[in-house]
Each structure stands twice: as C-alpha cells, then as structure tokens.
C-alpha cells in the first residue's frame, strides 16, 4: 500500500525530501500535495520533478490550513495520508490535533509542538496513543536531524529501561564553535572567540543572528523534547538555560553584536584557559536528569578522556545513561543539514508505511 504525503513547507528541507523520494523512485511513498505560505496544490497522482512549476501555476489555490486540510479530506482515498510539516511555525504545530482527529498521520522536524505548550503535547500524545488504527506521529528529525536519537530513546523507554541521564551536544553550530575554540591540541593555533563565531557565521553554520544559537534556546527545546519522551513534563520554565551572550550585547542589532563581540574575547579566553590548565575543554551541553529533576543547558568542562572532548567539526553527540547502559550508549554524527534532516523524515514515513501494511 502506498502512503500519500502532503507537505506543508517546501523550503530547503521540504524540497530535499521530495528530491530524495523522486531519486529513490519509492514504491511506498507518493507526494500528492505541497504547500507554501501562499498557495497549495493537490494532485490525484504523485507529483513529479516539475512540482515547483506546478505549485506556481493557476492550478494552485490560496493557502490556509483549513482549506489545505479540507482539500486533503475531499481527496482522501483508501491509502493512508501523512501530513509532513517542514515549517518551524507554531500555528502549523497547533494544528496537529486537527489533522490527527481527521485520521491523518503527522511527521515533522518542527520542534514547536514537542517543546512548547505542554497541553498541546499531551493532546497530541492522547490522539496518537498507539492503539490499533490510531493515527501516528513521528518527529525523529526534531533532535539530531537524521540521527536515531528519539527512536533509540523510545526503544529504551518502551522496553522498560530506567533513564538516569541524557547528555549531549545538540547544536551543530555550538559544536563547531567550541570544538575550534577550546581544544587541548597544542599544534592548533589559538583562536579568538569572536573570530570563531564570525567564521561559523560566514560558513552558514549559525542563524543569521548568531545570538539565536548562543542564547541556548534551541538546545533547550531539544532538551525538553527528550525529557518529555523520557516521561518528564519539562517546560521552558523548568530547564535552566545558560545564555552565553554577554548581557550588554543582547539588545543590540545583529551587526552591532558582531562588531562588539571582540570586546568580550578576554572573558571567553579566561574561561578557556581555566579549563585547559585543568586538562579540560569547554563544551555547550544539554542535560536531562530524571533522577535529580535538574534539566539544563550549560557551558561545561570535560576532560580529554570524555567523548565530548574529542568531537570534531559540527557533529552532534548524545549519551544515554540508563540502568541497562551504565556505560553510556552514544550516538554521534551530523546533526544538521537538509540532506540528513530529510533522511530522518523519510525513515519516519517509511515506518508509517510499514505499520499501516501490517
């Protein structure tokens, strides 16, 4: 049985997913609807490589979530339908219960529904409760892009393992910055913190305003997601977040921030020297601690022997410490980018395809 996929948000990740489906000539997935913020297009047959032209044609309709959903319901066939949300929009995330109640499955890399309003999260879990015939929700790509982070955590929880700690470097941006800024490699030339941030920005690793990475909120959202999957009712208020943007630079324009950041190189250099003198490095880490009830996002020190200290490039690394895995189960690899995010989405939809055929 083919699974029909309707995509909201056809930017970088949405477009890459369509390209992967077309390239693999999938026999299990058919993209039958696409939407951007202005218009949408539905088709009785799978969309082809000309979908962008088709979406811009007079055949498309003005987009609203209600109109898009009504169109899907009107064309609902015997095949199961997955709504794929590739936006980062809160309004779209709040619509998931409507889709689920209509019998559609949901797959998404959008963190908002899983890290925002706790009542929304619980409503989604109530509707996608795992009962026979109930709709399914997969969001592997909300943490670590295509890395099997949430799938692994679900497996640990569903088999009765006791989670004692989840710790990780969840931001590719902050991974790159601190892997290059704080190193015990004596052959590496010393780098100013502001220079590393500037290079990361030029390489496209950071958000247009790097403070959106440095303030820790993206990492906090991932901590909340993992904490909730592990059974904790985490919210933004219950996660202690260390914002490493100097306070006097928080209200400036992005350009002023970059111009003034060198004024604080001495501050970051002091932190780094203190760590290195103790055989440690600085890493920006998210922590879920169910045992002590203290989940956090902090700039922490790690010895050279720790897996976090030897991380390279912009990789993510996540360590699960459990009753069965007292020596942590570690997942490491590329945790950002359109290709790996689309891969995570693709595997989620294939799971739904497999489960709906059982």
Count of other CB atoms within 10 angstroms of residue 30: 17
d(CA 215, CA 241): 8
d(CA 258, CA 277): 29
Domain count, the chain: 2
The answer to whether residue 230 sits within a structural domain is yes
Looking at the fold, whether 49 and 28 belong to one and the same domain comes out as: yes
Looking at the fold, whether 236 and 167 belong to one and the same domain comes out as: yes
**Token pair listed for 249:** 């630079």
Paired with 40 in beta bridges are 35, 61
- From the candidates 111, 112, 201, 222, which is the catalytic residue? 222
* DSSP per-residue codes, 185-220: -TTSPP--HHHHHHHHHHTT-S-SSTHHHHTSHHHH
Looking at the fold, whether 189 and 127 belong to one and the same domain comes out as: no
222 as an active site residue: the answer is: yes
Task: Look over the chain and give the mean of its residue pLDDT values, rounded to a whole number.
Answer: 95
d(CA 222, CA 239): 11
Give the helix ranges, DSSP H, for 244-290.
Answer: 254-260, 265-277
pLDDT for res 76: 66
Spatial CA neighbour of 128 closest among 68, 350, 120: 120
Looking at the fold, whether 99 and 219 belong to one and the same domain comes out as: no
pLDDT for res 8: 98
- Residue 333 CB-density burial (10 A; 0-12 exposed, 13-18 middle, 19+ buried): middle
Task: Please calculate the CA angle 36-120-342 and round it to the nearest 5 degrees.
Answer: 40
Q: 184 or 258, which is more confident?
A: 258
Average pLDDT value for residue range 294-318: 95
Looking at the fold, whether 248 and 346 belong to one and the same domain comes out as: no
pLDDT for res 220: 97
Looking at the fold, whether 111 and 236 belong to one and the same domain comes out as: no
CATH number for the domain that contains residue 76 = 3.40.50.720
> Above 90 in pLDDT, residue 188?
no
Average pLDDT value for residue range 322-344: 95
The answer to whether residue 151 sits within a structural domain is no
Contact 214, 284 (CB under 8 A): no
d(CA 37, CA 277): 52
Average pLDDT value for residue range 194-202: 95
pLDDT for res 358: 64
Looking at the fold, whether 44 and 172 belong to one and the same domain comes out as: no
Looking at the fold, whether 94 and 191 belong to one and the same domain comes out as: no
**All residues at 6 or more sequence positions from 117 whose CB lies less than 8 Å from its CB, including other chains:** 94
The answer to whether residue 84 sits within a structural domain is yes
Looking at the fold, whether 343 and 328 belong to one and the same domain comes out as: no
Q: What is the pLDDT of residues 218-248, one digit of tens each?
A: 999 999 999 999 999 999 999 999 999 999 9
Q: What is the dihedral of CA 223, 226, 230, 232, to 10 degrees?
A: 40
d(CA 223, CA 228): 9
pLDDT for res 204: 87
The answer to whether residue 152 sits within a structural domain is no
Count of other CB atoms within 10 angstroms of residue 289: 17
pLDDT tier for residue 357 given thresholds of 50, 70 and 90: confident
Task: Please calculate the CA angle 307-309-313 and round it to the nearest 5 degrees.
Answer: 100
The answer to whether residue 85 sits within a structural domain is yes
The answer to whether residue 242 sits within a structural domain is yes
Looking at the fold, whether 229 and 290 belong to one and the same domain comes out as: yes
CATH number for the domain that contains residue 164 = 3.30.360.10
pLDDT for res 352: 96
d(CA 94, CA 113): 7
pLDDT for res 74: 82
Place of tokens 């219950």: 238
Looking at the fold, whether 65 and 99 belong to one and the same domain comes out as: yes
Give the 3-state secondary structure percentages of the chain, helix then strand then coil, rounded to 5: 40, 20, 40
pLDDT for res 130: 87
Per the structure, the complete domain to which residue 269 belongs is given by 157-334
* DSSP per-residue codes, 56-72: TSTT-EE--HHHHHHHH
CA distances from 144 to 149, 194, 278 (A): 7, 26, 30
Q: What is the pLDDT of residues 166-185, one digit of tens each?
A: 999 999 999 999 999 999 88
Contact 196, 264 (CB under 8 A): no
Residue 313 region, left (φ>0) first, then alpha (ψ -120 to 50), else beta? left
| Chain Cα centroid distance, residue 128 | 20
- Residue 264 CB-density burial (10 A; 0-12 exposed, 13-18 middle, 19+ buried): middle
Looking at the fold, whether 274 and 163 belong to one and the same domain comes out as: yes
Q: What is the pLDDT of residues 37-83, one digit of tens each?
A: 999 999 989 999 999 999 999 989 999 999 999 999 887 667 899 99
> Above 70 in pLDDT, residue 264?
yes
Q: Which stretches of the chain are assigned E, i.e. beta strand?
A: 3-8, 29-35, 39-42, 61-62, 81-85, 105-107, 137-138, 163-169, 239-241, 280-288, 295-303, 316-322, 329-333
The answer to whether residue 48 sits within a structural domain is yes
pLDDT for res 77: 65
């Amino acid at each position: 049985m083919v699974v029909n996929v309707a995509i909201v948000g056809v930017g970088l990740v949405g477009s890459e997913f369509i390209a992967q489906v077309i390239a693999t000539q999938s026999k299990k997935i058919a993209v039958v609807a696409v939407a951007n913020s202005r218009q949408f297009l539905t088709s009785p047959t799978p969309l082809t490589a000309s979908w962008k032209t088709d979406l811009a044609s007079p055949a498309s309709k003005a987009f609203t979530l209600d109109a898009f959903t009504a169109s899907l319901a009107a064309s609902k066939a015997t095949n199961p339908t997955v709504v794929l949300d590739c936006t980062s929009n809160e309004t779209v995330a709040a619509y998931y219960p409507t889709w689920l109640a209509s019998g559609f499955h949901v797959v998404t890399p959008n963190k908002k529904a899983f890290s925002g309003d706790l009542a929304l999260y619980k409503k989604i879990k109530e509707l996608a409760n795992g009962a026979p015939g109930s709709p399914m929700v997969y969001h592997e790509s909300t943490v670590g892009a295509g890395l099997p982070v949430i799938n692994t955590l679900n497996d640990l929880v569903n088999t009765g393992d006791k989670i004692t700690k989840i710790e990780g470097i969840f931001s590719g941006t902050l991974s790159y910055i601190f892997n290059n800024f704080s190193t015990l490699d004596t052959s590496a030339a010393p780098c100013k913190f502001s220079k590393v941030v500037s290079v990361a920005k030029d390489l496209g690793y950071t958000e247009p305003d790097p403070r959106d990475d440095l303030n820790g909120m993206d990492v906090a959202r991932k901590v909340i997601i993992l904490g909730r999957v592990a059974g904790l009712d985490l919210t933004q208020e219950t996660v202690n977040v260390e914002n490493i943007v100097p306070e006097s630079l928080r209200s400036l324009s992005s350009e002023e921030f970059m111009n003034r950041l060198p004024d604080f190189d001495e501050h970051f250099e002091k932190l780094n020297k203190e760590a290195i003198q103790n055989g440690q490095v600085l890493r920006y880490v998210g922590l879920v601690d169910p045992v002590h009830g203290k989940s956090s996002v902090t700039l922490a020190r790690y010895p050279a022997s720790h897996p976090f200290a030897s991380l390279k490039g912009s990789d993510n690394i996540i360590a699960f410490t459990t009753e069965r895995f007292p020596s942590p189960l570690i997942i490491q690899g590329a945790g950002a980018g359109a290709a790996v995010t689309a891969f995570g989405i693709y595997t989620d939809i294939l799971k739904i395809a497999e489960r709906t055929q059982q």
